[in-house]
């Protein structure tokens, strides 16, 4: 890559990734099965990349390789220009801060005997951030950003709904100011209305902070709403990728077409109308606050204060057309 192109370097660059699991065998006769094969994609700063495919297609394994929880058998993963293979056995604290994960089951990663606020303060403590009082302040701010109140800080996981717990998981991830969050089926267990609240929250947070998402899901309806670009995994291979709107409008691969046809949520009755209604409400709220000379740019009560100084958030569909705030630069030929 020539020096004048460094500003267009993707945040995450996965090239020809192979990941294999050991399935049986002993020290002299290892048997492995390759579950991710030659996968290449990149994610720019501020961008959401959707990784879709059926159960068992290798989506989580790809995420685990990026998190350094699964061994890379071939190819490279570069984060901000650094090949992860050069990082050594122990993942540096800075990488563990930069790349966070949010999973399907937030309760599974929360201590049932601790107040949920402690999940956030403990994360800060692990990363050596602030003193006790400062960490508590940060936790309070993080909870506010995800639409939770101070009162929620001292709840136990068993006292919260699935959507609230997922907000806690998002607060815990975002408080570390990561650059990439891997959302692995992060909304898959939620009912439809909670799902769309969490998706809108993630999009608001992205707008405010410029974080990137790798959004892993089997639900095409979800990525359609969320992702700037997407890739389709089938049996460990990325068979198609492109701009979300282009893939939905004109899928190139037969398998993608069958996935689209099989996904009730990618074009259910009334979804377009509901989306149009939602956008109209947001536009109305934004215009109302502009008209009143107010500074609140977003209709969302959860939008961080940083959003208030930026212009009203573009409607979702427009935003997806325009891509992330940073202009996207054409990739060199032959690159995924």
Ligand X SMILES: Nc1ncnc2c1ncn2[C@@H]1O[C@H](COP(=O)(O)OP(=O)(O)O)[C@@H](O)[C@H]1O
Taking the least distance from each CB to Mg ion, the nearer of 48 and 60 is: 60
Q: Give, to the nearest 10 degrees, the angle between helix 132-145 and helix 117-126.
A: 120
Q: Reduce the DSSP state of residue 41 to 3 states and report it.
A: strand
Q: Reduce the DSSP state of residue 206 to 3 states and report it.
A: helix
- The nearest distance, CB 235 to Mg ion, in angstroms, is 14
Taking the least distance from each CB to Mg ion, the nearer of 60 and 145 is: 60
Of Mg ion, ligand X, none, which one does residue 1 interact with (CB within 5 to 8 Å by kind)?
none
- The nearest distance, CB 271 to ligand X, in angstroms, is 24
Taking the least distance from each CB to ligand X, the nearer of 16 and 159 is: 16
The binding site for ligand X (CB under 6 A) comprises 21, 23, 35, 53, 55-61
The CA distance from 178 to 161, in Å, is 25
- The nearest distance, CB 36 to ligand X, in angstroms, is 7
The binding site for Mg ion (CB under 5 A) comprises 60
Of Mg ion, ligand X, none, which one does residue 256 interact with (CB within 5 to 8 Å by kind)?
none
On whether the CB atoms of residues 320 and 245 are closer than 8 A, the answer is yes
Of Mg ion, ligand X, none, which one does residue 53 interact with (CB within 5 to 8 Å by kind)?
ligand X
DSSP of 114-182, one letter per residue?
S-THHHHHHHHHHTT-S-HHHHHHHHHHHHHHTT--HHHHT--GGGS-HHHHHHHHHHHHHTT--SEEE
- The nearest distance, CB 176 to Mg ion, in angstroms, is 23
- The nearest distance, CB 60 to ligand X, in angstroms, is 3
On whether the CB atoms of residues 263 and 242 are closer than 8 A, the answer is no
Q: Which residue is nearest to Mg ion (CB)?
A: 60
């Amino acid at each position: 890559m020539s020096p004048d192109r460094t500003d267009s370097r993707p945040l995450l660059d996965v090239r020809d990734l192979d990941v294999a699991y050991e399935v049986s065998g002993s020290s002299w006769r290892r048997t492995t099965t390759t579950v991710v094969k030659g996968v290449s994609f990149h994610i720019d700063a501020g961008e959401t990349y959707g990784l879709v495919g059926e159960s068992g297609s290798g989506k989580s394994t790809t995420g685990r390789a990026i998190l350094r929880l699964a061994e890379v058998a071939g190819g490279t993963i570069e984060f901000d220009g650094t090949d992860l293979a050069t990082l050594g056995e122990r993942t540096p604290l800075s990488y563990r801060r930069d790349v966070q994960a949010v999973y399907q089951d937030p309760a599974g990663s929360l201590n049932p005997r601790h107040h949920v606020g402690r999940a956030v303060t403990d994360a800060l403590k692990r990363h050596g951030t602030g003193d006790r009082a400062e960490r508590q302040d940060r936790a309070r701010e993080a909870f506010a950003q995800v639409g939770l109140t101070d009162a929620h800080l001292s709840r136990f996981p068993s006292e919260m709904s699935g959507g609230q717990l997922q907000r806690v998981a998002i607060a815990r991830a975002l408080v570390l100011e990561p650059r990439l969050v891997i959302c692995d089926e992060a909304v898959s267990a939620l009912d439809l209305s909670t799902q769309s609240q969490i998706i809108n929250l993630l999009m608001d947070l992205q707008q405010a902070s410029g974080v990137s998402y790798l959004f892993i899901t089997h639900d095409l309806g979800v990525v359609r709403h969320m992702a700037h670009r997407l890739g389709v995994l089938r049996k460990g291979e990325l068979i198609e990728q492109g701009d979300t709107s282009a893939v939905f409008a004109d899928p190139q691969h037969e398998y993608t077409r069958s996935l689209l046809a099989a996904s009730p949520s990618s074009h259910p009755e009334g979804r377009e109308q509901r989306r149009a209604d939602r956008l109209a409400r947001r536009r109305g709220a934004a215009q109302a606050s502009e008209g009143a000379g107010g500074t609140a740019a977003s209709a969302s009560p959860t939008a961080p204060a940083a959003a208030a100084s930026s212009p009203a958030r573009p409607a979702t569909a427009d935003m997806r057309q325009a891509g992330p705030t940073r202009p996207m630069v054409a990739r060199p030929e032959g690159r995924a």
